[in-house]
Amino acid sequence: MSAITVADQNKDQIEQYTVPLGVSSDDPALSPLASRGPLGQRLVSADLIGEEELESALRHQSENGHKLGESLLELGFASEEQLLPFVETQIGAVGVRLREGILDPVAVQVIPRPLAEQLGVLALFKVRNQLVVAMDDPSNLDTIDCIEKVTGLDVRPVFAFRASIKRILQRAYEEGFHVDTVTADMDESAVELQLDSADMDVASVHNLVEGSPVINLVNYLILQAIRKQASDIHIEPSRKFGTVRFRIDGQLIEMLRPRRDIFPAIVSRIKVMAKLDIAEQRTPQDGRCQVVADGKEVDLRISTLPTVLGEKIVIRVLDKDRLTFNLDRLGIPDRVLGMVKELLKKPYGLVLVTGPTGSGKTTTLYSALELIKSVHHNIVTVEDPVEYQIELVNQVQVDAGRNVSFATALRSILRQDPDVIMVGEIRDAETAKVAVQAALTGHLVLSTLHTNDSISAITRMTDMGIEGYKLAAALQGVIAQRLVRTICPNCRSSYYPSAEYLNALHYQGEKRRSFSRGLGCRDCFDTGFQGRIGIYEVLPAEGELRRLIGEGATLESVRQWFQSRGFPSLLQCGLGLAEKETTSLEEVARVAFVE
């Protein structure tokens, strides 16, 4: 397996590139010095410079009218990286080390070049109605007022050394300045790619990206996806440019538009990492690689798809540190959690987990396996693909090339004396029949289905040809789930929804009460949400339900029985979270409301 290792000494370098993507510069790690005092003495106390160097810098400052930091830079006594944390604390403003990579070429042009040169400022990027501007004196209100009058935007000043502003300003207004310089000055030694495959000719690809920002751009995207807790990276071609989008909390958010002419190089670089055939561009391919970033290992699952404009790539980010395979920590309400654990105590039978793609079914199944696994149980899974490896569990991956399907693997597993079998998904009638047969012959079978709720799983199984009497005997219960986004803590606000809206959602609580929602801010990409939590409903196969299934009862009659028993539904679980102000009513309605 390929591995990418991000060197610790380059983390600060890569961190500089998070500014355009909405990462706050107020992170304590970026302002390590909180003490106050004269800048020179603080630098001496930190052993950054000596007393003699300080005296030389002070003389240079008085002779040239420069600031102390500028003098230290000109004399070569300290670097920008060393000085910035001290200057930030001294002036109480965010400081940046200017590079081409943190500039938005479009935002740069917002301030006319003559004015930028006159004031000694440089626009970095624009977020909604706010323009971030680098200047050597962020407290100069006259300069800020002048920029705001010319641009019509609110100015957020950040500190940068005068010499850096002058140097980058000349380059930024040149005609050839493009977005792909986002990582042009990134140290390529920050990332090491180790290829353990000897049968691949990658010379042409290395020639393609040698000396270009492509290698660093790809690693930058992966690093930011991990830090922003994205589940997927979508890299898509279009006629004028490429598009990079991250799926964060289930929503796709555009992050970058690399130039169209370097798009093939980006695709080739990712293919090399995953050990795919870089010459094959007309057939879908799948591969994997591993990255080590910020001190943790993360698996990447890479898929390519030919389109009329070029190859589209999706990278699934599998970060174990973000997941918990502990049922008690998934946010399942106590009553529902008790019902789930009762199902998992059964010695045999079929337990189904249902929901749409991306609703957390796999996490729930893995958490169930973690709960019941032991040295006394033989647990075997068949998955497509195996996303996470679990100790004491024998995991089999579906492989069409080797004629290993869910059904064929399941038949082989039954000859392996299993106690518990987990089938990644029941997709067809053959798999459904083998799974039910395994449940009827003394095995606990866990699997998933794509249905809207727990009750629909019954009709889905019968539609796949499972006789009612067999399903009634085999089924132990169905767990349905969804993921709802949680409100961003940085832009949370309260409001009073109308009684009509609450009635439409079948809300049974106090109508004259406040609920919460997010207004949208930079930290949550203007969505109003950060993170997700599950909502659940459980349909236990009690005696009356088995009778209804065996008699071929309609979906509506089973739903009436479910409601009569007072089991909490997905909607009720979601409304409970809205009452606790964990999520919003609108999010619950979007995910769980059915007319």
Measuring CA to CA, how many Å separate 538 from each of 341, 351, 486?
11, 10, 22
Query: What pLDDT does 399 receive?
Result: 82
Measuring CA to CA, how many Å separate 101 from each of 31, 133, 186, 267?
21, 15, 8, 21
Query: What pLDDT does 594 receive?
Result: 65
Query: What pLDDT does 372 receive?
Result: 92
Query: What pLDDT does 101 receive?
Result: 59
pLDDT band at residue 239 under the 50/70/90 scheme: confident
Q: Residue 299: is its pLDDT beyond 80?
A: yes
Residues of the chain above pLDDT 70, percent: 85
Measuring CA to CA, how many Å separate 19 from each of 13, 104, 158, 230, 309?
12, 11, 12, 17, 31
* Residues 134-170 pLDDT 10s: 888 888 888 999 999 998 888 888 888 888 888 888 7
Query: What pLDDT does 177 receive?
Result: 52
The CATH fold assigned to 214-319 is Beta-Lactamase (3.30.450)
Residues of the chain above pLDDT 90, percent: 37
Residue pair 151/111 in contact (Cβ under 8 Å)? The answer is yes
Instruction: Find tokens 């403003």 and name the residue.
Output: 93
Q: What is the mean pLDDT of residues 386-411?
A: 86
- Cα separation, 504 vs 515, in Å, equals 16
Per this entry, what is the length of the chain?
Answer: 595
- Cα separation, 343 vs 222, in Å, equals 39
Higher pLDDT, 162 or 244: 244
Residue 317: which of 397, 231, 445 has the closest Cα?
231
Q: Chain centroid to CA 298: how far? A: 12
Q: Residue 182: is its pLDDT beyond 50?
A: no
Q: Residue 55: is its pLDDT beyond 90?
A: no
Average pLDDT of the residues of the chain: 81
Q: Residue 13: is its pLDDT beyond 50?
A: no
Domain 327-483+532-569 classified CATH 3.30.710.10? Answer: no
* Residues 56-65 pLDDT 10s: 778 777 776 6
**Which range (119-133, 230-244, 458-472, 576-590) has the least confidence?**
119-133
CB-based burial, 138-171: b 16+ in 10 Å, e otherwise: beeeebbebbeeebebebbbbbbbbbbbeebbee
Inter-residue long-range contacts of 590-595, CB under 8 Å, 24+ positions, other chains counted: 591/482, 591/483, 591/484, 591/535, 592/482, 592/484, 592/535, 593/505, 594/452, 594/453
Torsion of CA 422, 428, 433, 439, to 10 degrees: 20
Query: Residue type at 455?
Result: I
pLDDT band at residue 368 under the 50/70/90 scheme: very high
Residue pair 494/514 in contact (Cβ under 8 Å)? The answer is yes
How many CA atoms does the CB half-sphere of 408 hold within 13 Å?
A: 9
The CATH fold assigned to 100-173 is GMP Synthetase; Chain A, domain 3 (3.30.300)
* Residues 184-230 pLDDT 10s: 344 443 333 333 332 323 343 344 444 346 777 888 888 889 888 89
Stated as kind and residue range, the H or E segment containing 181 is none
Task: Record the tokens describing residue 212, joined without a space.
Answer: 């270009």
Query: What pLDDT does 202 receive?
Result: 36
Indicate whether this model's pTM tops 0.85.
no
Q: Residue 509: is its pLDDT beyond 50?
A: yes
Query: What pLDDT does 37 receive?
Result: 61
- Cα separation, 433 vs 420, in Å, equals 17
- Cα separation, 195 vs 211, in Å, equals 19
Q: Chain centroid to CA 535: how far? A: 20
Residue pair 535/570 in contact (Cβ under 8 Å)? The answer is yes
